[in-house]
């Protein structure tokens, strides 16, 4: 079995792909927020960049080539205002949480713990945007829908699903 075909590498690649999409998606999120919400979006954007880099290093250490980010991503719905931006942020985090479930299912205890912590972080970020948590974060990603009014991080404390790649044409 080649390095890229191992269950660990496949799970890491799926998480990396979700992190690439989250980094892209937070660009759209942050562009429509102000104040504390924009600061949270920037913090979470950086957390996703750091997670992306960590995953890429882990994949390389296992002898495989990390998946590259798509040239562009199609957002799951138009984002033209603060409400849509908050809705997208929650959805991105839900999808990242779902991607980390693949690591939680592995036999390697170190990777399981890494995945569990990353899933927890994503679930906390999603809850901060949504204003409530899900019963089983990552197991069922809610369809995009309205986020309750007044929700979203006013002063979030959580630290890292995804838009769909559109290909090299971008946009």
Strand partners, 164: 74
pLDDT for residue 161: 41
pLDDT for residue 37: 97
Which has more pLDDT, 165 or 155?
Answer: 165
Backbone angles phi and psi of 16, in degrees to 5: -60, -45
Residue 6 to residues 20, 67, 107, 154, 166: CA-CA distances in angstroms? 21, 15, 12, 42, 27
- DSSP tag of 89: H
**pLDDT tens-digit map of 47-101:** 999 999 999 999 999 999 999 999 989 999 999 999 999 999 999 999 999 999 9
What's the CATH number of domain 3-165, 1.20.1260.10, 3.40.50.720, 2.40.40.20, 2.60.120.20? 1.20.1260.10
Query: 146: which residues sit within 8 A by CB, 6+ positions away?
Result: 83, 87
pLDDT for residue 1: 62
**pLDDT tens-digit map of 120-139:** 999 999 999 999 887 777 77
């Amino acid at each position: 079995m080649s390095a890229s075909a191992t269950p660990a590498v496949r799970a890491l690649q799926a998480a990396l792909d979700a992190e690439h999409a989250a980094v892209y998606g937070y660009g759209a999120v942050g562009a429509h927020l102000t104040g504390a919400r924009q600061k949270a979006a920037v913090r979470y954007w950086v957390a996703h960049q750091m997670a992306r880099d960590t995953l890429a290093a882990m994949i390389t250490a296992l002898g495989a080539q990390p998946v590259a980010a798509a040239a562009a991503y199609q957002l799951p719905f138009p984002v033209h205002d603060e409400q849509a931006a908050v809705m997208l942020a929650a959805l991105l985090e839900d999808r990242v949480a779902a991607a980390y479930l693949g690591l939680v299912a592995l036999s390697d205890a170190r990777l399981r713990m890494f995945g569990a912590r990353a899933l927890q972080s994503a679930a906390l970020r999603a809850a901060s945007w949504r204003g409530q948590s899900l019963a089983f974060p990552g197991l069922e990603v809610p369809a995009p829908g309205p986020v309750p009014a007044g929700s979203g991080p006013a002063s979030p404390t959580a630290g890292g699903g995804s838009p769909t790649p559109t290909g090299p044409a971008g946009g």
